[in-house]
């Protein structure tokens, strides 16, 4: 039976990225987009309690709409998942969960690059919590957050090409500045820029899409599409003849 994953986004541009990443899998993706919290984050009376309440309500609603699991692609939303996901009757995966696992399994120097300043504090709190929960005693080096300034407003107003160019430049500069660190594009919207820099320069930039499919396959048991499997099997058998 096909699994239904409800995808909770803060911006519509994350829909295509998620669809492309999970295209080979036998899953139905149902998308829920709400840019409201990002628009309110600079209000004088905005607080973390507002984020908790909205994320909690939306997760419950998505689960109620027959989702088998929920993928939260916004790091601002994902920052409160530790508290809110435990009250949801289906598995909830944050877009930065694969990154947290990567950092736990591979200690070292990490530069986490952001374009949205509102997501930095919450994401770094999740990183620190994940490291505290890790029972390994291996020596860990620094994990630093860096903002690529004056970029997030570009994607929020729909100027994807300017955003891609600006973020690509920022990520390349960070990779050159920190050659001994793993540079991470910490937000899903930054994934195309990370892929561009890696393809153009050979400098590896980790992004949320780097291991998302494999992570969901392990955590949720999502399966590769039967069509893809049949094509692969056919090509393999043809090569044997």
* Each residue's pLDDT tens digit, 117-145: 988 998 998 898 888 876 555 555 689 99
Distance CA 36, CA 116 (A): 14
Q: What is the pLDDT of residue 236?
A: 39
Task: Kindly state the average pLDDT of the residues 94-112.
Answer: 91
pTM above 0.95?
A: no
Q: Please tell me the predicted confidence (pLDDT) of residue 139.
A: 52
Q: Which CATH number applies to 97-206: 3.30.360.10, 3.30.70.3420, 3.40.630.30, 3.40.50.2300?
A: 3.40.50.2300
Give bridge partners of residue 25 from the DSSP assignment: 224
The model's confidence at residue 7, banded by pLDDT at 50, 70 and 90, is very high
Mean pLDDT of 179-200: 95
- Give the Cα separation of 188 and 144 in Å (integer): 18
**Angle between helices 160-177 and 191-201 in degrees, nearest 10:** 60
pLDDT, one tens digit per residue, over 40-84 is 887 888 888 888 999 999 999 999 999 999 999 998 888 888 888
Comma-separated ranges of CATH 3.40.50.2300 domains in the chain: 97-206
pLDDT beyond 80 at 36: yes
- pLDDT, mean over the chain: 86
Q: Which CATH class is domain 3-94+212-231?
A: alpha beta
Confidence check: pLDDT of 230 > 80: no
pLDDT given at position 138: 52
Work out the average pLDDT over 221-234: 46
d(C-alpha 75, C-alpha 11), whole Å:
11
CB 59 within 8 A of CB 8: yes
* Percentage above 90 pLDDT, the chain: 53
Map residue 182 onto helix, strand or coil: strand
- Crossing angle of helices 97-105 and 212-220, in 10° steps, is 90
* Residue 52: partners with Cβ closer than 8 Å, 6 or more residues away: 80, 83, 84
CB atoms within 10 A of CB 157: 10
Within the chain, all domains assigned CATH 3.40.50.1860 are found at 3-94+212-231
């Amino acid at each position: 039976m096909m699994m239904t994953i409800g995808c909770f986004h803060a911006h519509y541009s994350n829909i295509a990225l998620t669809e492309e990443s999970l295209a080979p899998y036998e899953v139905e993706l149902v998308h829920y987009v709400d840019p409201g919290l990002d628009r309110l984050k600079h209000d004088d009376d905005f607080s973390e309690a507002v984020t908790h309440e909205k994320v909690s309500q939306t997760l419950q609603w998505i689960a109620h709409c027959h989702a088998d699991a929920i993928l939260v692609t916004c790091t601002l939303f994902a920052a409160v998942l530790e508290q809110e996901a435990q009250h949801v009757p289906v598995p909830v995966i944050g877009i930065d969960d694969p990154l947290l696992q990567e950092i736990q399994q591979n200690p070292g120097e990490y530069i986490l690059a952001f374009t949205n300043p509102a997501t930095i504090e919450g994401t770094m709190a999740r990183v620190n919590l994940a490291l505290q929960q890790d029972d390994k005693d291996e020596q860990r080096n620094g994990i630093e957050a860096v903002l690529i300034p004056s970029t997030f407003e570009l994607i929020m107003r729909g100027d994807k090409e300017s955003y891609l160019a600006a973020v690509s430049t920022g990520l390349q500069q960070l990779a050159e500045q920190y050659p001994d660190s793993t540079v991470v594009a910490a937000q899903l919207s930054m994934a195309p820029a990370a892929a561009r820099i890696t393809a153009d320069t050979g400098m590896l930039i980790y992004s949320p899409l780097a291991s998302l499919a494999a992570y969901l396959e392990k955590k949720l048991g999502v399966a590769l599409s039967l069509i893809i499997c049949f094509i692969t099997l056919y090509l393999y058998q043809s090569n044997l003849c």
